[in-house]
């Protein structure tokens, strides 16, 4: 068994000592069976949230009403422990609106979305797999637990999750599940945008994004995503790009805006309800890309955007095939060679300027700094006091003539 399960086994042992059942469940079991890197380790148990809290010294209540308690085992490690349950409808990101705690593991596995996600593993690594998830994993198939149509009526997000997993795992969607998605796709309208956004981002980051985006369009699911309705062909173009090479959300959304040829960027990004920070950074990327398209990677752009922003914009352009990947080395070099990296690096400060000019602070200081930045970057003067003083005196003369 994977090393990461070791601590988890101790939690399971403690629960068993107290007369409860407990198993590893969900994504970590699936990923272990596939020899993939595992993410969070989840544990399902017959113990109620109160019983879990009574057994472990350090717990965090993240949703006892949904049956979920986090058990903290060390500073770095904690595990989500969830009481066996069945679900009501989901409207928020993670939890169904109402749940019923149930007695058996099998009932809990039955409420899970796909057979590959409905496998349990006991503390010794023994697999319990009532819905034959293991053989579906072997055949690389995504299949709902039970009748697809019924499962999609309970929670329509599962349709999008199927496509997301097909991207992450490079799996196929089994025929009945596929047909049900095509038929029931309009149910996706009922799902909150936050849940859709989360799945969409995971979809775009997957290695199997090519097939997944094609699947998104052939099932027609895309027509129930914000501003994607008329963009089927654009999405197929997007499918051809190595989208998974992008690391940040803001790069991802900037790419989407470009490939989908979005007119109203603000409305588009807002309709996906992205955090303000992501929206702003995506727009910043778009601005830099626009400038680079006109002027190339000139010093001024790299200085104004900073290294991180420049590299992110470059990464988007590389995915688009507009730039060579290796250009990033050059961007690094240009940045490192800049005489200053921000106003703070200029050795004359505001006080010095007031003294040299013999004038009070005013708008002129900002204007001077703007010109001075460019003069320094283009090496028209040097960042040391004597040279700067001379440059400032010249500038003031011209300023006096003009104003
Ligand atoms: P990832 O590695 O991307 O986190 P995961 O399988 O862990 O994949 P999660 O979204 O974290 O996916 O969900 C954990 C588990 O909870 C799933 O494996 C599945 O068993 C169950 N699950 C999550 N969302 C749903 C849902 N909407 N309907 C039914 N079961 C769900
Ligand atoms: Mg998970």
Please report, in tens digits, the pLDDT of each residue of the chain (403 residues total): 777 899 999 999 999 999 999 999 999 999 999 999 998 999 999 999 999 999 999 999 998 888 999 999 888 889 999 999 998 766 655 567 778 999 899 999 999 999 999 999 999 999 999 999 999 999 999 999 999 999 999 999 999 999 999 999 999 999 999 999 999 999 999 999 999 999 999 999 999 999 999 999 999 999 999 999 999 999 999 999 999 999 899 999 999 999 999 999 999 999 999 999 999 999 999 999 999 999 999 999 999 999 999 999 999 999 999 999 999 999 999 999 999 999 999 999 989 999 998 888 888 999 999 999 999 999 999 999 999 999 999 999 988 777 6
Q: Under a CB-based contact definition with an 8 Å cutoff, are residues 383 and 340 in contact? A: yes
pLDDT of residue 74: 87
Q: Give me 390's structure tokens.
A: 């001379």
Strand partners, 141: 172
pLDDT of residue 245: 97
Distance 208 CA to ligand 1 centre (A): 18
Q: What is the dihedral of CA 334, 336, 340, 341, to 10 degrees?
A: 90
First to last CA, the chain: 77
Distance 40 CA to ligand 2 centre (A): 5
User: Using CA atoms, how far apart are residues 260 and 237, in angstroms rounded to an integer?
Assistant: 9
pTM of the predicted model as reported, rounded to 2 decimal places: 0.92
Nearest CA to ligand 1 atom 15: 26
Distance 235 CA to ligand 2 centre (A): 27
pLDDT of residue 303: 98
User: Using CA atoms, how far apart are residues 94 and 123, in angstroms rounded to an integer?
Assistant: 26
pLDDT of residue 90: 67
Nearest CA to ligand 1 atom 24: 113
Distance 39 CA to ligand 2 centre (A): 6
pLDDT of residue 205: 97
- Ligand 1 atom index nearest CA of 157: 27
Q: Under a CB-based contact definition with an 8 Å cutoff, are residues 403 and 395 in contact? A: no
User: Using CA atoms, how far apart are residues 157 and 154, in angstroms rounded to an integer?
Assistant: 9
User: Using CA atoms, how far apart are residues 347 and 363, in angstroms rounded to an integer?
Assistant: 20
**312 phi/psi in degrees, rounded to 5:** -65, -45
pLDDT of residue 268: 98
- Ligand 1 atom index nearest CA of 39: 2
- Our answer on whether the CB atom of 199 is closer than 6 Å to any ligand 1 atom is no
- Our answer on whether the CB atom of 143 is closer than 6 Å to any ligand 1 atom is no
pLDDT of residue 361: 87
Distance 42 CA to ligand 1 centre (A): 10
- Our answer on whether the CB atom of 155 is closer than 6 Å to any ligand 1 atom is yes
Nearest CA to ligand 1 atom 25: 113
Sequence-distant (6+) residues with CB within 8 A of 194 are: 92, 93, 273
DSSP 8-class letter at 4: T
pLDDT of residue 9: 96
Best mutation site among 23, 24, 26, 152 for ligand 1 pocket (most ligand atoms within 8 Å of CB): 26
- Ligand 1 atom index nearest CA of 155: 27
Nearest CA to ligand 1 atom 21: 112
Q: Give me 36's structure tokens.
A: 């993939």
User: Which domains are present in the chain?
Assistant: 1-133 (3.30.460.10), 140-244 (1.10.110.30), 246-338 (1.20.58.560), 343-402 (1.10.246)
Distance 230 CA to ligand 1 centre (A): 30
User: Using CA atoms, how far apart are residues 388 and 403, in angstroms rounded to an integer?
Assistant: 22
Residue with tokens 């988007």: 316
Best mutation site among 29, 66, 67, 117 for ligand 1 pocket (most ligand atoms within 8 Å of CB): 117
- Our answer on whether the CB atom of 157 is closer than 6 Å to any ligand 1 atom is yes
User: Using CA atoms, how far apart are residues 73 and 403, in angstroms rounded to an integer?
Assistant: 69
DSSP 8-class letter at 130: T
pLDDT of residue 385: 94
């Amino acid at each position: 068994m994977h090393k990461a399960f070791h601590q988890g086994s101790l939690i399971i042992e403690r629960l068993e000592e107290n007369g409860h059942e407990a198993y590893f469940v969900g994504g970590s079991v699936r990923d272990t069976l596939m020899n993939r890197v595992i993410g969070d380790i989840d544990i399902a148990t017959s113990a109620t949230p109160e019983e879990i809290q009574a057994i472990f010294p350090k717990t965090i209540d993240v949703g006892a009403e949904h049956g979920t308690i986090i058990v903290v085992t060390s500073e770095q490690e904690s595990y989500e422990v969830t009481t066996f349950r069945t679900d009501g409808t989901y409207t928020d990101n993670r939890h169904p609106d109402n749940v019923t705690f149930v007695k058996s593991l099998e009932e809990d596995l039955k409420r899970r979305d796909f057979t590959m996600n409905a496998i349990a593993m006991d503390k010794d690594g023994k697999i319990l797999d009532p819905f034959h998830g293991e053989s579906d994993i072997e055949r690389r198939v995504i299949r709902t637990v039970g009748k697809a149509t019924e499962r999609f009526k309970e929670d329509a997000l599962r349709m999008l999750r199927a496509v997301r997993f097909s991207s992450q795992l490079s799996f196929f969607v089994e025929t009945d599940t596929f047909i049900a998605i095509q038929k029931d796709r309009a149910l996706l309208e009922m799902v909150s945008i936050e849940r859709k956004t989360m799945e969409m981002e995971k979809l775009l980051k997957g290695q199997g994004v090519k097939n997944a985006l094609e699947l998104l369009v052939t099932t027609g699911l895309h027509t129930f995503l914000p501003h994607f309705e008329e963009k089927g062909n654009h999405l197929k173009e997007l499918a051809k790009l190595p989208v998974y090479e992008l690391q940040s959300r803001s790069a991802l959304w900037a790419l989407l805006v470009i490939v989908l040829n979005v007119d109203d960027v603000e409305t588009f990004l807002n309709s996906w309800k992205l955090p303000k920070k992501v929206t702003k950074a995506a727009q910043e990327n778009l601005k830099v890309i626009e400038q680079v398209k006109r002027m190339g990677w000139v010093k001024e752009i790299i200085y104004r955007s900073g290294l991180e922003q420049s590299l992110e914009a470059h990464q988007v352009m590389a995915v688009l095939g507009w730039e060579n990947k290796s250009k990033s080395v050059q961007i690094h070099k240009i940045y490192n060679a800049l005489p200053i990296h921000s106003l703070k690096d200029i050795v004359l400060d505001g006080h010095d300027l007031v003294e040299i000019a013999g004038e009070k602070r005013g708008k002129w200081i900002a204007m001077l700094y703007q010109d001075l930045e460019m003069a320094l970057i283009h090496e028209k003067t040097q960042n040391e006091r004597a040279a700067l003083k001379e440059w400032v005196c010249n500038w003031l003369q011209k300023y006096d003539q003009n104003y």
